Amino acid sequence: MKHQLRGKKRFALGSISALLWMLICVQSAWAKEITTTNIVPPQLTDWRSTIQVDQFDPAQGILLRVDAVIRGDLLGTARYESLDSLATDMTVKMSADTELRWPDGPVIIAAFPAASRTQPTTEFDGVVDFAGTSGATLEGVIGFDVSKTATFTQTEELQRFIGVGQSDFQVTTSGRSRASGAGNLSARFSLTTSAQITITYTYGNPAIDIEKSTNGEDADEPTGPHIAAGDPVTWTYVVTNTGDVKLVNVAVSDDQGV
């Protein structure tokens, strides 16, 4: 995209230094992305794990935005036995809070995987074996949840992700299991959870090209345009965005106040 700026005044002897002032717009259709994914394998709840996320190398450009997402998965086994004297429907529920935290503790984002099963049972069949007509063993109960995206654009937030090494983050999970439906029951649970953390860096490489003309002549020519002292002169600056980041509020000035 090109921006043309003009300035007109009487020519005075002396050098002219062009200064460019601009803002970088974070929302850019041209910006590039780097995505990293870390996986915490399944383990029995509750647990805490440290993951290392590759930092954004500033040599690649300017970091504009960071998006973080966490996915939590659970896999459980539920065993129950109704001890009631009447038939009833038994429900088992398993859930977990899976959180991504800053190294110093505060939660960044969280996912809440959950799963439930409901099955009919007869009156107690006389044996607590988590089987028969009054009980069951449910294996492979699964659930998952994907968090909302946490987005960071402020300078102080982005600094946490910039460097040439890795940043440590904490991932924690706390689980809950319950059985209901009978006033008298026996239940046992086994619950494992895993997590997947995805970090996306959005960055760009801002660059510009400035072409200056004097009274319509290219000011970059070795000989340059000849202007007599006291003659009117119009300088025209054509600013072209040659980078991959959208620029806004572009202004050019020189030491003569054009």
Residue 243 within a domain:
yes
Same domain, 127 and 216: no
Same domain, 181 and 241: no
The band of 16, judged by pLDDT with boundaries at 50, 70 and 90, is very low
Half-sphere exposure of 111 (CA within 13 A, CB side): 25
Q: Assign 3-state DSSP to the chain and report helix, strand, coil percentages, each to 5.
A: 5, 65, 35
The band of 254, judged by pLDDT with boundaries at 50, 70 and 90, is low
- Which domain range does residue 190 map to? 32-204
Task: Tell me: pLDDT of 222 over 80.
Answer: no
Count of CB atoms situated within 10 Å of the CB of 31:
22
Residue 173 within a domain:
yes
Same domain, 87 and 117: yes
Q: Give every CB contact of residue 83 below 8 A, 6+ residues apart in sequence.
A: 124, 128, 134, 182, 184, 185, 186
Residue 258 within a domain:
no
Same domain, 176 and 48: yes
pTM of the complete model: 0.75
Same domain, 41 and 149: yes
How many structural domains comprise the chain?
2
Would you say 236 and 213 are in contact if contact means Cβ atoms under 8 Å apart?
yes
- The per-residue pLDDT for range 143-166, each reduced to its tens digit, is 999 999 999 999 999 999 999 999
**What does the pLDDT read at residue 19?**
46
Task: Tell me: pLDDT of 13 over 70.
Answer: no
Q: Which whole number is the average pLDDT over 238-253?
A: 75
